[in-house]
Amino acid sequence: MASHSVEDIKRTSRGLRGTLRASLADPVTGALAEADQTLIKYHGSYQQDDRDLREERRRQKLEPAYQFMVRTRTPGGVLTPAQWLRLDGIATAYAERGLRITTRQAIQFHGVVKRELKTTMQALHAALLDTIAACGDVVRNVAVGANPHLSGVHAEVHALAAALSAHLLPRTRAWYELWLDEALVAGGEDTPEPVYGQAYLPRKFKIGFAIPPVNDVDVFAQDLGFIAIVEAGRVVGYDVAVGGGMGATHGDPETFPRLGDVLGFVAPERAIALAEAVVTTQRDWGNRAVRKRARLKYTIEDRGLAAFRAEVERRAGFALEPARPFAFAHNGDRFGWAEGEDGRVHLTLRIPAGRVWDREQPHQTGLREIARALLDVDGAQFRLTPNQNLVLANVPAALRTRVDMLAAAHGLDLHARATPARLDALACVALPTCGLAMAEAERHLPAFLDRFEALLERHGLRQAPIHLRISGCPNGCSRPYLGEVALVGKAPGRYNLMLGADHRGQRLNTLYRENVDEAAILAALDPLLARYAAECSEGERFGDFLVRTGIVADRSLRLELVA
């Protein structure tokens, strides 16, 4: 869709209402009217069709198998066991393929049909959740590091993230009117949007909070990243990074992944004002003519960091302080049990590609059982991680054995048996639901991992912690450009092989082989792994080795230049 038409649709939508009500009521088709397909994103849903069935339905002269993806707004991915049970019930009643934990700590449901969308939204609302601004040209689900070791600090950071998420929510009542039958605001069109204005943002906008030493949100991949600076167990403020993003288009040098620049330090009580200044600067400066160049990263490339900083400080009404030192150790999750400050324990479970579904293993049933066991436990949480995994947080020590037993009985104990590469791997959804997928990702991950592990084994590297990420297209939903090894989909069965990111989320990888099939990928990795096994220094990671030996370029964030 041409960029101007998305801008027109937003502007003329009367607060994101459009003709959605009529589209949803139309019994003749499973789809929405074209403009409403854009607008429904702001309500946290995408119209899709099952691509596995496209050809067959076309042959039968049927319309595509239209269905909807529904994405929750869950800042920091924090849920109670009761909410988990509700979500599980929604997945069972209205969706296909269970629940899907996303790389931004949300739950997605796939395969919801149009006539059941409203009931699905109402069921979410009954679980005290919503889907407002989960998609669209607005601030998306605010991501927060899920580090369970630092409960007190996490609570502080999470509270700020939740407040920021609420502050930056669209003000329109359209979601409540459409899905909950709230009385229409007279005329519908006059809801003021103090932050967004009637045309909302030029493009999606992502905010994430990282709590060093864990960079699980990949803070430098966010449009706006907050890095918690912790002294004596308290958050004294945040270093602020701007202009990160992953998306690119194959063959278009105008688009590229980019790491955020560190702008400076802000005190906690000023963080929301600062975020608003960054968002409104992007609202007014972002490129509304060319959608592919509309993200904040391009605004900063085009206008320069100094000009951007000056404008943000002018709007915020204060200057940023110099950035303070921080150090990230890793950007994956740490699995298994961890003890919190208060003696409670937390269990990080590996959920392959975030898909919770009773298909190969009874994972959905197992998590339902665990949620029931934790239902009455004060403070117990199901925390979704930005790496598609799940932390069972604040488990009383007395329940640890029971949770372990339930996890093992339902195949949820991968943390006790899988290789580091399998535990850390990310894959985006891709086929069959993603309309932009060029190749498989989530569905291809298990088979690729089998072969990748065999290769590692051959070189005595079975326990090597190599970050593998697969995306079905260059949009980069699994943040592949931050993978030590990454496959970026090009065509069915063919990928670009990217190599050499670090394990802290501070270095982008580099194209190593273009448009190759799996055999060629494994053949390219084979000699590199052989060399790594023979020549790496003590504790040296694969990505670091590839850069040190000059096999790929160093695309590290140069912190000393930007701080």
Q: Would you say 475 or 510 has its CB closer to ligand SRM? A: 475
The one catalytic residue in 100, 293, 355, 428 is 428
Which of ligand SRM, ligand SF4, none lies near 472, with the C-beta cut-off 5 to 8 A by kind? ligand SF4
Which of ligand SF4, ligand SRM, none lies near 344, with the C-beta cut-off 5 to 8 A by kind? none
Q: Would you say 23 or 471 has its CB closer to ligand SF4? A: 471
Q: Would you say 429 or 525 has its CB closer to ligand SRM? A: 429
- 6, 201, 437, 525: which one contacts ligand SF4 (CB under 6 A)? 437
8-state DSSP, 270: G
The one catalytic residue in 73, 434, 469, 541 is 434
How near is the Cβ of 186 to ligand SRM at its closest, in Å? 33
Q: Would you say 461 or 473 has its CB closer to ligand SF4? A: 473
Which of ligand SF4, ligand SRM, none lies near 247, with the C-beta cut-off 5 to 8 A by kind? ligand SRM
Phi, then psi, of 236 in degrees rounded to 5: -90, -15
How far does CA 557 lie from the centroid of its chain? 21
Q: Is 118 a catalytic residue?
A: no
Which of ligand SRM, ligand SF4, none lies near 473, with the C-beta cut-off 5 to 8 A by kind? ligand SF4
State the DSSP H helix or E strand holding residue 109, giving kind and residue range, or none if neither. strand 107-112
24 burial via Cβ count (<10 Å: 0-12, 13-18, 19+): middle
Q: Is 536 a catalytic residue?
A: no
How near is the Cβ of 134 to ligand SRM at its closest, in Å? 6
Q: Would you say 148 or 247 has its CB closer to ligand SRM? A: 247
- 199, 441, 468, 486: which one contacts ligand SF4 (CB under 6 A)? 441
Q: Would you say 107 or 229 has its CB closer to ligand SRM? A: 107
How far does CA 63 lie from the centroid of its chain? 31
Q: Is 372 a catalytic residue?
A: no
How near is the Cβ of 450 to ligand SF4 at its closest, in Å? 21
Q: Is 292 a catalytic residue?
A: no
Q: Are 238 and 262 in contact (CB under 8 A)?
A: no
Which of ligand SRM, ligand SF4, none lies near 381, with the C-beta cut-off 5 to 8 A by kind? none
How far does CA 369 lie from the centroid of its chain? 26
Q: Would you say 80 or 478 has its CB closer to ligand SF4? A: 478
The 10 Å CB-count burial string (b at 16+, else e) for 338-348 is: bebeeebbbbb
> Within 412-431, which residues bind ligand SF4 (CB under 6 A)?
428-430
How near is the Cβ of 73 to ligand SRM at its closest, in Å? 9
Classify 419 as helix, strand or coil.
Answer: coil
Q: Are 74 and 378 in contact (CB under 8 A)?
A: no
Q: Is 135 a catalytic residue?
A: no
Which of ligand SF4, ligand SRM, none lies near 479, with the C-beta cut-off 5 to 8 A by kind? ligand SRM
Give the span between the Cα atoms of 493 and 515, in whole angstroms: 9
- Rounded to whole angstroms, what are the CA distances from 70 to 57, 106, 122, 135, 434? 23, 10, 12, 9, 13
End-to-end, the C-alpha distance of the chain in Å comes to 39
Phi, then psi, of 130 in degrees rounded to 5: -145, 180
Give the span between the Cα atoms of 502 and 542, in whole angstroms: 8
Residue 377: name the closest of 401, 393, 356 by CA: 393
Build a one-symbol-per-residue string for 462-501: x at contacts with ligand SF4 by CB under 6 A, - elsewhere.
---------xxx-xxx------------------------
The one catalytic residue in 104, 477, 479, 490 is 477
* Amino acid in position 206: K
Phi, then psi, of 352 in degrees rounded to 5: -55, 125
Q: Are 297 and 244 in contact (CB under 8 A)?
A: yes
The one catalytic residue in 73, 344, 469, 473 is 473
- 353, 434, 449, 482: which one contacts ligand SF4 (CB under 6 A)? 434
Which parts of this chain interact with ligand SRM (CB under 6 A)? 46, 48, 69, 71, 102-104, 106, 108, 140-141, 204, 206, 221, 245-247, 295, 354, 388, 428-429, 433-436, 475-479
Q: Would you say 14 or 503 has its CB closer to ligand SRM? A: 503
Antiparallel, parallel or unpaired: β 96-101 and 107-112: antiparallel
How near is the Cβ of 193 to ligand SRM at its closest, in Å? 21
Q: Are 401 and 437 in contact (CB under 8 A)?
A: no
Spatial CB neighbours of 536, under 8 Å, sequence gap ≥ 6: 542, 545
Phi, then psi, of 494 in degrees rounded to 5: -130, 140
Q: Are 426 and 353 in contact (CB under 8 A)?
A: yes
Interface with ligand SF4 (CB under 6 A), residue total 13
Q: Is 434 a catalytic residue?
A: yes
Which of ligand SRM, ligand SF4, none lies near 507, with the C-beta cut-off 5 to 8 A by kind? none
Tokens of 271: 């963080």
Q: Are 247 and 255 in contact (CB under 8 A)?
A: yes
Classify 76 as helix, strand or coil.
Answer: helix
Give the span between the Cα atoms of 126 and 462, in whole angstroms: 46
How near is the Cβ of 157 to ligand SF4 at its closest, in Å? 27
The one catalytic residue in 17, 204, 283, 479 is 204
- Return the residue matching tokens 């390219």: 524
Q: Would you say 143 or 271 has its CB closer to ligand SRM? A: 143
Which of ligand SRM, ligand SF4, none lies near 347, with the C-beta cut-off 5 to 8 A by kind? none
Which of ligand SRM, ligand SF4, none lies near 274, with the C-beta cut-off 5 to 8 A by kind? none
Catalytic annotation, residues: 71, 140, 204, 206, 428, 434, 473, 477
Q: Which residues bind ligand SF4 (CB under 6 A)?
A: 428-430, 434, 436-437, 441, 471-473, 475-477
